[in-house]
Amino acid sequence: MSGQQVGYTRVSSLDQNPDRQLDGVALNRTFTDSASGRSTARPQLEAMLAFVRDGDTVVVHSMDRLARNLDDLRALVRTLTARGVRVQFMKEQLTFTGEDTAMATLLLSVMGAFAEFERSLIRERQREGIALARKRGAYRGRERALNPEQVGQLRARAAEGTAKATLAREFGISRETVYQYLRTTPE
């Protein structure tokens, strides 16, 4: 087998450790994202896709590390295998080459559907838990990024024409958060 062994790891938050995912696997290069798997627009995934060549093998701990929904998973595997890149999932013990049997294609679909289903169950349980905690008064949501005085300053500076990106940098928040504060009515 010619080509490189290229690892791809993904964690959802910065405090998680991606090293355990491919621990003990001999790799020439590893790409690691610290981002949600809900979208395939991840910088290291895109870098890995640009890096791999015909004959390489992309090694991933499990299908849900590559994609969280079946359509994205199948599209990524198809894209890679069409370029002559093998895709190997360690946890599921499956490898896809592009010359896959009907059974391999079925397994990809079924296992990917289970990963998507599992993620849906997690979200559902999370929503239920939050609703129950709200009823008990134990959940008040996330703490606001800015206090009321800072919100007033932000709105005044935005009204003066200060760029949203400048405001985001100065207040230490994202541009989307700036827009959210500007959309909501003052308290």
Geometric angle at alpha carbon 135, from 130 and 138, rounded to 5°: 65
Residue 137 CA: distances (Å) to CA of 11, 99, 123, 124, 133: 31, 56, 21, 20, 6
Strand partners, 88: 59, 95
Amino acid residing at 164:
K
Tokens of 41: 């627009």
Q: Tokens 């450790």 appear where?
A: 17
Q: Is 12 designated active site? A: yes
Burial annotation 120-134 (CB, 10 A radius, 16+ → b, else e): eeeeeeeeeeeeeee
Classify residue 159 as exposed, middle or buried by CB count within 10 Å of its CB (0-12, 13-18, 19+).
exposed
Give the three-state DSSP class for 41: coil
| Active-site position among 2, 12, 120, 174 | 12
Task: List, by residue number, the catalytic residues.
Answer: 12
